[in-house]
Structure 1
Amino acid sequence: MLEPNIAGVASLIGDPARAHMLIALMGGKALTATELALEAGITPQTASSHLGKLVDSGLVMARKQGRHKYFQLQGAEVAELLEMMLNLSTQMAPLKITTGPGDPNLRRARVCYDHLAGEVGVALYDALVAGKYLVDNGSETLLTATGRTFFLSQGMPLDEFNGGRRPLCKSCLDWSERRNHLAGRIGQWILEDTLARRWASRDPVSRAILFSTGGFAKFAGKYGLAGCYAAFDFRGR
């Protein structure tokens, strides 16, 4: 009987260059080998070799479009594993270490594969629980009847989400905040809707999500974050 090859997966992620590339892919965008080589500080040829191993292992998938080949994480499960490893690595580090990224924009709001993370992501999760749209049962997050009515009224196609492998809502321990933010199909929809409404935009060079002042005011009003608005400084955006 074959046993899970934990050591094999760990060795693939554990290489510093591959780890940098995997973290870069946590933004959810498809990137080329050249772009990933820049992220890892290695040559494109070396990056192609590393990416071949990641694709063969099933951690990363390759997509060809025209003359270019793009790489993405295989799915949300891989992103969640990487986020957990980021949390674990900071817990095992010296006590004086600052958790999470040093960039204040990344700490404020960033993409965790396909959902919102950082200070704003955690505030969103807390607001949805306080509003009784979600129930936080520790390791399990549940959508309430009130939440279902609310999200349907906002145009979320909840009925289309039924039957998929991915849960509607799921808590994800935030790397920088060490508290839950919202993953799952609902978390994905909220981020996509926020970007579609142009309340925020993706930083083209990082995983940061950049809210405008007016955009955050609308986001906060919609999801009940008004009480924590003063905690976030969006002046000049």
Structure 2
Amino acid sequence: MPSINALAETAALVGDPARAAMLAALMDGRARTAGELAASAGITPQTASGHLARLAGAGLLAMEKQGRHRYHRLASAGVARMLEGIMAVAEGGAPPARAARPFGPRDAAMRAARTCYDHLAGRLAVALADAMVARGVLELGPDGGAVTPSGEAFLEAFGIPMARPARGRLFCRPCLDWSERRPHVAGVLGAALCTRCLDLGWVRRREGGRTLLVTPEGARGFRDAFGVEVAATP
């Protein structure tokens, strides 16, 4: 179990506004350069380099070198879960006068569909989780999830292989959605579902953030495959 000092040090690292902004910029699961992260935080590249070194030293970031460039990404799905949880708690503590504002991001498109690290989030993701539970594809509880035997056949037919990892990351688990405050699907299955929807062209990334745009093909596909009614993003 981590010590109280380690907990406090991690909280202090995330609590700096510039470091928090850079971590949030990596929540779409993609890697970015120090210059890109500096721009997202509104600081100089030199200042960003110091922050990034501290985050990497604490195990929150990983760095990959490709050619002349160094790319930074979140070190693990666990780091992304921690950040999403902090966002949800912080939003829940908003002043009562702001309670009428929807939870989560202000942008309507981002609330509708986005990535949470490497899996789907937002209203679309919660609707898909609800639909799969209702159809008997998944069983989701407060602390875990499982694919049913009939669900395995459904997901295989959809193009998601059911091979489980030998160790490490959970195959299927619930993740509390930042804006909907209900679970969507995470883990290996959540990542595979997101990748499949991108590969099919049902959703596409909006440049510069976590927002996903639903295509007309996606609107038809989600309805036909999952029984989920979702409008194509204008």
Calculate the TM-score normalised by the size of structure 2: 0.93
Number of residue pairs matched by the alignment? 230
Confirm or deny that 1:202 pairs with 2:205.
yes
Structure 1, 32-41 or 140-149: larger mean CA deviation: 140-149
Distance 2:148 2:35 in 1: 45
CA deviation after TM superposition for structure 1 residue 38, in Å: 1.1
CA distance in 2, matches of 1:72, 1:173: 22
Q: CA deviation at 1:23?
A: 0.7
SS at match of 1:185: helix
User: What residue in structure 2 maps to residue 132 of structure 1?
Assistant: 136
Give 1:105's aligned residue: 109
Cα shift readout 1:81-120 (whole Å, capped 9, x = no counterpart): 1000001111122132431111111111001000000010
Partner of 2:225: 222
Indicate conservation of the 8 Å contact 1:200/1:209, yes or no. Answer: yes
- 2:46 counterpart residue number: 45
Displacement after TM superposition at 1:153 (Å): 2.3
Give 1:206 deviation, angstroms. Answer: 1.2
Match of 1:3 in 2: 3
- Regions of 4+ moved over 3 Å: none
The equivalent of 1:78 in structure 2 is 79
Aligned to 1:162: 165
- Is 1:186–2:189 an aligned residue pair? yes
What is aligned with 1:151? 155
CA distance in 1, matches of 2:2, 2:76: 24
CA contact (8 A) 2:206 2:212 kept: yes
Residue number in structure 1 paired with 2:126? 122
For residues 13 and 186 of structure 1, the distance between their equivalents in structure 2, rounded to whole angstroms, comes to 28
Q: Is the 8 A contact 1:131 1:224 kept in 2?
A: no
- What is the CA-CA distance between 1:67 and the residue it aligns to? 0.5
CA contact (8 A) 2:213 2:233 kept: no
Matches of 1:39 and 1:2 in 2, distance apart?
Answer: 31
Q: What CA deviation, in whole Å up to 9, does each residue of 1:187-229 have, x standing for no partner?
A: 111110111111211111111111112222112321231xxx1
> How far does residue 2 in structure 1 lie from its aligned partner after superposition?
7.6
Q: Which amino acid aligns with 2:107?
A: D
SS in 2 for 1:27: coil
Pairwise CA RMSD: 1.6
2:93 corresponding residue in structure 1: 92
Q: In the aligned structure 1, how far is the partner of 2:219 from the partner of 2:198?
A: 11
Specify the code of the residue in structure 1 equivalent to 2:43. I
> What letter is aligned with 2:3?
E
**Structure 2: tracts of 5 or more residues without a match:** none
Contact 1:122 1:180 (8 Å CA) reproduced: yes
Note if contact 2:214-2:231 (Cα within 8 Å) is conserved in structure 1.
Answer: no
Does 1:177 pair with 2:180?
yes
Mapped partners of 1:177, 1:171: distance in 2: 13
Aligned partner of residue 26 in structure 2, secondary structure: helix
- CA gap of 1:6–1:19, structure 2 versus 1, over 3 A, is same
TM-score scaled by length of structure 1: 0.92
Question: Aligned-pair distance for 1:133?
Answer: 0.7
